């Protein structure tokens, strides 16, 4: 076994994922749990972290812990200040926040980013900046998948600006908390996804087309088995139309995501005529955290 050099942690709203790395960035061990910041009560950040990485730290107390995600938000362990776009990686690294563990060891937390669009409306990200850093992409459009998807514009090694889309959260809300979700039936028929993509192109906007989920089922134009895929296609299609309108890519896109959802995005973007380069989010996170620490002069 090679010598441990760093503990990398992705601590988001719903989950905590940790990895023990050697000097080359190879993962030696992993730990994960449904203990995102919304599930940690009473500010027990250090106690929660210790449950997942404490055994590593006791074997080598000098190990640094470096974290990204909502743990650095106002509702997290400590609020790491936002870096302002356009931002270079060194500027992001410079704003990392330091927390001291009870044993005196260091915990470094990556900052988020904020930007303002042409109308002066602000947008923020936390965690995605580290993923993007880890891809080592310097120019182009990077799409990060998640509860809130981000479309980031990269130029000459810095994040120029970005736009957020609440696609994942809207899907959960429509599916679980509206009358549309009650129409869904099992087993799921994925033919509804293509119908949703087509619906996203209709006139009238998302609020109008979403209601058509109900009417098409009521009048027998679509079976209940297609409802969930239809909503997914409708929202992903709407996001992609909006993202392309905002970013105006030149024919190639980068996509940070894995699994079936990422493949749906890839296929949909390809149908719009775009070549898509895929990036693995776990590898990007580990590489991004290591790169930020290196930029701070710490290996």
pLDDT at 184 over 90: yes
C-alpha 289, offset from chain centre: 15
**Dist CA 293 CA 208 (whole Å):** 47
Q: Which domains are present in the chain?
A: 4-137 (3.30.420.300)
> How far is the first Cα of the chain from the last one, in angstroms, to the nearest whole number?
19
- Given a contact cutoff of 8 angstroms between Cβ atoms, the answer to whether 211 and 217 are in contact is no
Render pLDDT for 35-54 as a digit per residue (tens, 0 to 9). Answer: 999 999 999 999 999 999 99
Vertex 93 angle, CA 91 and 96, to 5°: 115
What pTM, to 2 d.p., does this model score?
Answer: 0.92
pLDDT at 1 over 70: no
Q: Other C-beta atoms within 10 Å of 207: how many?
A: 7
Contacts of 243 (CB under 8 A, 6+ apart): 143, 151, 163, 165
The DSSP letter of residue 202 is S
pLDDT at 201 over 80: yes
pLDDT at 233 over 90: yes
Rg of the Cα atoms in the chain: 21
Render pLDDT for 208-228 as a digit per residue (tens, 0 to 9). Answer: 999 999 999 999 999 999 999
Mean pLDDT within 72-99: 95
pLDDT at 298 over 90: no
Q: Residue 234 class from Cβ within 10 Å (0-12 exposed, 13-18 middle, 19+ buried)?
A: buried
Mean pLDDT within 103-125: 95
Contacts of 216 (CB under 8 A, 6+ apart): 222
Mean pLDDT within 1-17: 91
pLDDT at 299 over 70: no
- Given a contact cutoff of 8 angstroms between Cβ atoms, the answer to whether 95 and 88 are in contact is no
Question: What is the chain's mean pLDDT, rounded?
Answer: 94
Render pLDDT for 237-270 as a digit per residue (tens, 0 to 9). Answer: 999 999 999 999 988 999 999 999 999 999 999 9
pLDDT at 203 over 90: yes
Render pLDDT for 163-181 as a digit per residue (tens, 0 to 9). Answer: 999 999 999 999 999 999 9
Query: Reading across the β-sheet that carries 87-88, which strands appear in turn?
Result: 87-88, 158-165, 149-155, 140-144, 252-256, 275-279
Q: Output the pLDDT for position 251.
A: 82
Q: Other C-beta atoms within 10 Å of 252: how many?
A: 11
């Amino acid at each position: 076994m090679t010598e441990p050099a760093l503990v990398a942690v992705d601590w988001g709203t719903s989950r905590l994922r940790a990895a023990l790395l050697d000097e080359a960035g190879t993962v030696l061990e992993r730990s994960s749990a449904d203990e995102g910041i919304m599930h940690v009560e009473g500010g027990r950040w250090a106690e929660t972290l210790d449950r997942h990485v404490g055994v590593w730290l006791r074997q080598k107390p000098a190990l640094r812990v470096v974290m990204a995600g909502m743990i650095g938000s106002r509702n997290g362990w400590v609020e790491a200040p936002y870096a302002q776009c356009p931002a270079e990686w060194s500027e992001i690294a410079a704003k990392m926040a330091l927390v001291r563990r009870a044993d005196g060891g260091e915990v470094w937390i990556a900052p988020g980013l904020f930007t303002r669009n042409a109308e002066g409306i602000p947008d923020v990200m936390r965690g995605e900046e580290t993923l993007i850093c880890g891809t080592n992409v310097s120019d182009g459009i990077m799409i990060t998948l998640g509860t809130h998807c981000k479309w980031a514009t990269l130029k000459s090694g810095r994040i120029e600006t970005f736009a957020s889309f609440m696609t994942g959260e809207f899907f959960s809300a429509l599916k679980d908390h509206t009358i549309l979700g009650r129409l869904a039936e099992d087993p799921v028929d994925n033919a509804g996804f293509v119908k949703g993509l087509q619906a996203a192109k209709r006139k009238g906007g998302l609020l109008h087309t979403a209601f058509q989920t109900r009417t098409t089922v009521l009048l027998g134009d679509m079976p209940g088995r297609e409802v969930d895929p239809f909503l997914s296609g409708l929202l992903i299609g709407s996001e992609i139309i909006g993202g392309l309108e905002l970013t105006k890519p030149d024919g190639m896109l980068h996509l940070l995501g894995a699994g079936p959802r990422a493949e749906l995005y890839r296929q949909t973007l390809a149908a719009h005529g775009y070549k898509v380069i895929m990036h693995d989010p776990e590898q990007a996170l580990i590489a991004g955290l290591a790169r930020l620490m290196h930029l701070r002069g710490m290996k």
